[in-house]
Amino acid sequence: MIKFFESAIQNLNGWGIMVFILILGSVELFFGLLEGKWSKNDKILDIVCLVVPRFIFSALIGFFSLKVLPFILPGLKDAFAWIPFTLGFFIILVTIDLSQYWYHRLHHQIPVLWRFHRTHHSARYMSVVVNSRQNIFYVAFLSQFYITAALVYLGLGGPALLFNGFQTVWSYACHTSVKWDKVLYRYKVLHPVAWILERLLVTPATHHAHHAASHGDGVGYYKGNFGGILFVWDLIFGTAHISRKFPKQYGISNYEDDPWYAQWLWPIFKSPVIGSELAKDGPEVKEEENELEVIQELQNAYIK
């Protein structure tokens, strides 16, 4: 068994990550953290988003690496191979994570892009599988895939693979309903550790706030906390919110339970739900309800 887990860690960029997901997912199910929230439609969407892209985009990135990069960057293969491993890892961390911050942020701030990212926020729960819950076109243009492939081509393969493994694990760990960072807030002796960690890296508390159904109640903050791995980008660009608390409700206040195929493949397939942002001739972004009213409704529902 020990050898199995050692092998899983060594293969985080392959089948090892699936072991990690299965372990966290099993904990969520065992403790009933998704009870009553994970509908059939959600299950299909989450599983399709978790499994199918791994086959599709492996081939796409392979083509990009073997055919496109040699064409657009001729003679530059292994040009950065002289860079030390640690420096290479730092370059990759900053380059990829900063690009992801802006990619994510723009999908919240530009109406037409929001509909591609909306799928990720439609879940009324947090879970390890929510990390992969994305419209296929949002995934297809993720900058990290192409930047990583380019850096590997340029000779930073080792650092790139290490970062990719770390990024994948951390991202899943921040989406899970297992609120493992709570221990840092519970014990005063650990508060200095929490203060540093939550300003350096994204944590479950800060990312759960981003998935909240409310904004402006002191906990939910879906208009910020855009960081993928590093939370420092939110601090630098003024989109940070730290409360050390977890939202009572997750998802989108105007979500209409669009079928899984419309959420995954919009705009190829439209939602049959009239008035949905994913429906034919639907609005790019629905007018937000008065946030104070939303907050009050959520609080009343929680009290009941």
Distance from C-alpha of 199 to C-alpha of 271, rounded to nearest angstrom: 39
Q: Which amino acid is at 304?
A: K
Residues 144, 39: one domain? yes
Distance from C-alpha of 196 to C-alpha of 191, rounded to nearest angstrom: 9
25-63: per-residue pLDDT in tens?
888 888 788 877 889 999 999 999 999 988 888 788 888
Question: Are the beta carbons of 221 and 191 closer than 8 angstroms?
Answer: no
Cis bond upstream, residue 192 (ω within 30): no
Domain that includes residue 38, residue range:
1-178
Residues 80, 196: one domain? no
The phi and psi torsions of 23 (rounded to 5 degrees) equal: -65, -50
Residue 161 placed within a domain: yes
Which is more confidently placed, 24 or 78?
A: 78
Identify the pLDDT of residue 60.
85
Identify the pLDDT of residue 136.
96
Residues 196, 121: one domain? no
Residue 273 placed within a domain: no
Mean pLDDT, residues 184-207 taken together: 96
Residues 9, 109: one domain? yes
Domain final residue, candidates 120, 145, 178: 178
How many C-beta neighbours within 10 Å does residue 126 have?
27
Among 25-34, 195-204, 209-218, the minimum mean pLDDT is found in 25-34
Residues 163, 205: one domain? no
Domain final residue, candidates 151, 178, 205: 178
220-262: per-residue pLDDT in tens?
999 999 999 999 999 999 999 999 999 999 999 777 789 999 9
Residues 130, 198: one domain? no
Residues 145, 204: one domain? no
Residue 199 placed within a domain: yes
Residues 185, 159: one domain? no
Which is more confidently placed, 304 or 210?
A: 210
Band (pLDDT 50/70/90 cuts) for residue 147 is confident
Global pTM value: 0.86
3-state DSSP call for residue 221? Answer: strand
Residues 109, 187: one domain? no
Angle at 164 between CA 158 and CA 168, to 5 degrees: 155
Domain count for the chain:
2
Residue 268 placed within a domain: no
Band (pLDDT 50/70/90 cuts) for residue 301 is very low
- The per-residue pLDDT of the chain, averaged, comes to 86
Residue 232 placed within a domain: yes
Mean pLDDT, residues 102-124 taken together: 95
Beta bridge mates, 221: 215
Residue 274 placed within a domain: no
Identify the pLDDT of residue 269.
96
